[in-house]
Chain A
Amino acid sequence: MSFNVLASTLGTMAPAEEVSHFPPTPEIFWQPLFSVGPVTVTRAMVVAAISVIGIAWWLIATTQRAAVVPSKGQFLTEGVYGFVRNGIAKDMIGSKEFIRFVPLLFSLFIFILVNNLFGITPFIQMPTMSRIGFPIALVLIVYVVYHAIGIKKRGLAGYFKFLVPAGLPAWIAPFIFVLEFITFFITRPLTLALRLFGNMFAGHMLLVVFIVGGWELFLADSFFLKLAALPAWLLAFAFTLFEGLVQFLQAYVFTLLAASYIGGALADEH
């Protein structure tokens, strides 16, 4: 009983019956909470909704009465905003046109960061981005944005011409065009989505292995196996801290790459 409660808290474990779930298949991770008509609600959706409400409340609360001498909350918000504005957008897009992309990048960063950090928040323990649908949705936004501004700047034909750097020998241009086309339209969105998904998913699995594995060891009959549960939980603690670092880093990397793709589409030359 208690194992199943723990397992369902962790969100990715097998159902109650004793069948082997190794290797895991995608079906195992489909665990709907409840469904209303045709809409099925999963844990990840609930966590994402909580994060949106929390972020909205936090941002309104800390910026509504913004003062010259900031409160602690306002200071934190401004710090994060300044980090995205100067550390990511300005560096990657360039100081001329970056300001209109700051809202998008700031929203992406803070949404991904909060959702990632839910992965190590006690009682939630669910990084939303470990379900592939969420990263795909975010990447779709970035994908549309960077192609749209590229096409808006150069026109459709000019955009495709822009894929090939000027001054290449004529015979090599088609190969470069195919390579660049694959990079722009397939590899970039694919890696952007899969990187976020893979990191969150792998980190989540790592924590599940150490925490649930430690619990299984603790429940074992042998005394020495019970003893081995202690280092497993110590490692779970260490990996939780490590996951916090990775989760921040992945939010940063996602925003950095989104900004670099936008900057690349706006760049004057390669």
Chain B
Amino acid sequence: MVGNLSLVGYGLATIGPAIAVGLIFAAYINGVARQPESGKLLQPIAILGFALAEALAIFGLVLFFL
């Protein structure tokens, strides 16, 4: 059983992007709650931000295999 530590490290590394994704959607929900008609406008922006934040977690997954 070699390499367990890198697995744990990857688990820890996902905390950052997880918080980021949570913040992005919290802001999106806040915005739509205050201004319901802005939902359609904000949705691609929120998804875009989510995708960019998530890329960091994906990098971690790939680095785990290297």
Contact = CB atoms under 8 A, between A and B. Distances in A.
Interface residues of A, number: 24
Chain B interface, DSSP helix/strand/loop, else mixed: helix
B48 A26 contact: no
Contact of B51 (A25, A87, A253): A253
Contact of A256 (B2, B7, B47, B58): B47
B5 to A, nearest CB: 10
B1 A20 contact: yes
A195 B54 contact: yes
Interface string A23-37: 111100000000000
B3 interface: yes
B44 A256 contact: yes
A132 to B, nearest CB: 9
A20 B64 CA distance: 18
A194 B62 contact: yes
Most buried by A among B3, B7, B55, B57: B55
B30 interface: no
Given A23-B6, A26-B65, A199 B58 contact: yes
Interface of B: 1-4, 6-7, 44, 47-48, 50-52, 54-55, 57-59, 61-62, 64-65
